[in-house]
């Protein structure tokens, strides 16, 4: 539910408030264009089936509040810490990073900060995860050791640590990564005083099992997948990487340990990162050598600030220290992100290739553990098959033209892809220039395809009938009474005044495509006439964007071949 505030007097709902509204629940609209973000599927995987967009006039408060006292207290503490951080830190960027790093509030992160951390492979610093829980665990483990009463009783300190960890987890929003880390460190806390040997793989599996019992749909969350793949990568490969070199001195040994952990985590997450985000940070080692120690120091200073923020002098000093540390970390990562070649982009792996890479990593781990010859041969065979399949898919992509007629209410928009060339064509360039990269380009930017070029349909030769890849497309809303002599393969009707009876009489063996700019009444009327006449048709408004696989392998010359 989203409530749009219309004035400064708007009362923000409190946790536990009951809200009444006469408005009807709405089903989220599914993605209708290829390659775009499917908001409906995303919400369904979060357990959300309906949405509401309201104004303050459309809601009323029942006066009842059923919030759990402990959860209400944690939310109040979260609000207090947010206000304290905001008042103590003047720099907006440092403030946004502090809120994300300490309490999981990412609402103030702008595109510049997000791009900097993403391009340097340090986005995990901003997403509260096991790293942050581990720092909290180590900090309070040392702090609680100063109290003899907790040390004297075997389980007093572990229970206190568990309470602190779970309070922090609830405070930061209980994301899957926090959930997983809190469970793992809880098992670790209880296992140490019992003198039991704790198997990391068992703890990881137990935490995943508990999470999926609570919410089975969590398995589809990207954060859940990346969190567990990173930990698996560290558990599987970090010990073998660490054995490659053992520095004699403490500082090189510490730097080498950070490097091995970073490499192992990247091994675990790289296939998923490329699959979801289509890019890979090249300087992640350099970035993490700076970011991981700085995040530890910053988290410790942040905890000190939160504990002393109520003390005027001490709180001011710890706030200044926290801001300086955050500025140093942000500036350092910004310098790295500006190095040429910091990010390799436009990497589009299909699901099959991603699964194949993980199969190869699994076999590699088995070989590192067992050192058996047949495992090495199996790994070589799997890598060979993976390369062959990737090459075949690359050649298939380059030799297979694709044509998309998009679901666009702003303008009639089509996309064409062949080889390394991609084009977006529209009858109103001004309405799509700001959104085409996010909305339409993903369907064209596959593997080695470059950025699409925007044209105007009105400037193409011999419109409104154009030829792409041997297929003729006629845009009926662009003609008057005189119909062109071309015999189109596809006839697009996308709003406007359309002479439907003349079209049915003039053209045969044509597939009619009803665009999304047709009104519902107009689309229903056209569908009835087309069904009665026995013509093939496709409704973008009722289904999704038209995805036409072109049969002729013709290369697109400059502009388009007119007709």
pLDDT of residue 551: 34
Cβ atoms within 10 Å, residue 98: 28
- DSSP 8-class letter at 23: S
**Rounded to an integer, what distance in angstroms lies between the CA atom of residue 546 and that of residue 218?**
32
pLDDT at 477: 65
pLDDT exceeds 70 at position 453: no
Q: pLDDT value at position 561?
A: 35
Q: In this predicted structure, what is the pLDDT of residue 210? A: 84
Average pLDDT over residues 518-543: 82
- pLDDT band (50, 70, 90) for residue 335: very high
Give me the pLDDT at residue 323, please. 93
Tokens matching residue 214: 């609570």
Q: What percent of the chain has pLDDT over 70?
A: 85
Q: Which pLDDT value is given to residue 556?
A: 35
Average pLDDT for 432-452 = 60
Overall residue count recorded for the chain in this entry: 563
pLDDT above 50 for 461: no
The bridge status of strand 2-3 relative to strand 53-54 is: parallel
Report the pLDDT value the prediction gives residue 456, as an integer from 0 to 100. Answer: 58
pLDDT in tens, 227-253: 889 889 999 999 999 999 888 888 888
- The per-residue pLDDT for 552 is 37
Residue 36 has pLDDT above 80, yes or no: no
Buried b (16+ CB within 10 A) or exposed e, 23-34: eeeeebeebbbb
Q: Taking 70 as the threshold, does the pLDDT of residue 213 lie above it?
A: yes
Question: What residues contact residue 107 under an 8 Å CB cut-off, 6+ apart?
Answer: 99
The DSSP element (H or E) to which 511 belongs, if any, is strand 511-514
State how far the Cα of 475 lies from the Cα of 490, in Å rounded to an integer.
9
Per-residue pLDDT, 239: 92
* Domain range annotation of the chain: 2-67, 72-344, 352-389, 402-562
Checking if the pLDDT of 399 tops 90, the result is no
Does residue 168 register a pLDDT over 70?
Answer: yes
DSSP string, 447-480: TT----EEEEGGGSTTTTEEEETTEEEEEGGG--
Name the residue with higher pLDDT: 78 or 499. 78
Q: What is the mean pLDDT of the chain?
A: 80
CA distance linking residue 400 with residue 475, whole number of Å: 24
pLDDT-derived band of residue 479, with 50, 70 and 90 as boundaries?
low
Across 198-227, average pLDDT:
84
Alpha-carbon distance of 375 to 378, in angstroms, equals 5
Confidence grade of residue 496 (pLDDT, cut at 50, 70, 90): low
More confident residue, 286 or 460: 286
pLDDT of 507 reads 79
Helix (H, G, I), strand (E, B) or coil at 426: strand
Calpha distance 316→480 (Å, rounded): 73
What pLDDT sits at residue 14?
77
Separation between Cα atoms, residue 129 and residue 123, nearest integer Å: 11
pTM for the full predicted model: 0.78
Q: Pick from 168, 157, 110, 95: which is nearest to 134 by CA? A: 168
Model confidence at 84: pLDDT above 60: yes
Bridge partners of residue 72, in order along the sequence: none
Locate the DSSP E strands across 275-362: 280-281, 343-344
């Amino acid at each position: 539910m989203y409530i749009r505030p219309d004035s400064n007097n708007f009362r923000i709902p409190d946790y536990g408030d009951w809200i009444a509204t006469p408005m009807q629940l709405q089903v989220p609209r599914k993605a209708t264009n290829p390659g775009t973000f499917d908001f409906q599927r995303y919400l369904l995987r979060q357990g959300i089936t309906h949405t509401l967009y309201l104004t303050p006039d459309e809601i009323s408060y029942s006066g009842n509040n059923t919030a759990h006292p402990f959860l209400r207290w944690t939310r109040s503490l979260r609000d207090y810490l947010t206000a304290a951080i905001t008042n103590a830190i003047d720099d907006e960027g440092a403030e946004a990073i502090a809120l994300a790093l300490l309490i999981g509030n990412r609402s103030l992160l702008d595109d510049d900060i997000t791009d900097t951390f993403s391009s340097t492979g340090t986005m995990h610093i901003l997403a509260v995860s096991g790293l942050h829980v581990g720092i909290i665990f180590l900090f309070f483990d040392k702090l609680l050791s100063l109290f003899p009463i907790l040390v004297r009783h075997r389980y007093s300190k572990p229970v206190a640590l568990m309470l602190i960890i779970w309070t922090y987890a609830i405070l930061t929003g209980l994301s899957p990564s926090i959930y997983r880390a809190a469970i793992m460190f809880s098992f670790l806390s209880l296992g140490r005083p019992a003198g039991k040997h704790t198997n990391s793989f068992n703890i990881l599996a137990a935490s995943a099992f508990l999470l999926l019992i609570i919410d089975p749909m969590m398995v589809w969350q990207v954060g859940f997948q990346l969190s567990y793949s990173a930990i698996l990568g560290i558990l599987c490969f970090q010990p073998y990487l660490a054995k490659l070199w053992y520095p004699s001195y403490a500082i090189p040994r510490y730097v080498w340990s950070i490097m091995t952990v970073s490499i192992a985590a990247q091994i675990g997450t790289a296939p998923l990162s490329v699959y979801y985000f289509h890019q890979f940070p090249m300087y992640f080692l350099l970035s993490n050598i700076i970011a991981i120690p700085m995040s530890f120091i910053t988290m410790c200073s942040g905890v000190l600030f939160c504990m002393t923020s109520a003390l005027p002098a001490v709180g001011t000093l710890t706030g200044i220290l926290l801001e300086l540390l955050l500025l140093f970390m942000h500036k350092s990562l910004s310098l790295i992100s500006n190095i040429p070649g910091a990010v390799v982009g436009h990497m589009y792996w299909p699901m099959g290739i991603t699964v194949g890479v993980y199969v190869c990593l699994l076999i590699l781990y088995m070989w590192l553990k067992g050192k058996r010859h047949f495992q090495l041969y199996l790994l070589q065979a799997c890598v060979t098959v993976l390369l062959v399949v990737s090459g075949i898919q690359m050649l298939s992509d380059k030799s297979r033209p694709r044509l998309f007629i998009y679901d666009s209410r702003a303008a009639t928009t089509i996309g064409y892809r062949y080889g390394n060339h991609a084009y977006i064509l529209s009858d109103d360039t001004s309405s799509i220039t700001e959104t085409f990269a996010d909305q339409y380009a993903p369907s064209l930017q596959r593997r080695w395809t470059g950025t699409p070029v925007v044209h105007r349909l009105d400037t193409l030769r011999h419109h409104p009938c154009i030829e792409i890849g041997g297929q003729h497309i006629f845009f009926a809303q662009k003609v008057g009474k005189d119909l062109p002599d071309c015999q189109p393969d596809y006839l697009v009707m996308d709003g406007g005044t359309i002479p439907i009876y003349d079209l049915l009489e003039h053209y045969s063996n044509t597939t009619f495509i009803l665009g999304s700019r047709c009104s519902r009444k107009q689309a229903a009327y056209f569908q009835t006439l087309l069904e009665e006449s026995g013509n093939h048709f496709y409704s973008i408004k009722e289904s999704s964007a038209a995805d036409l696989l072109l049969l002729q392998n013709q290369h697109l010359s400059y502009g388009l071949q007119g007709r």
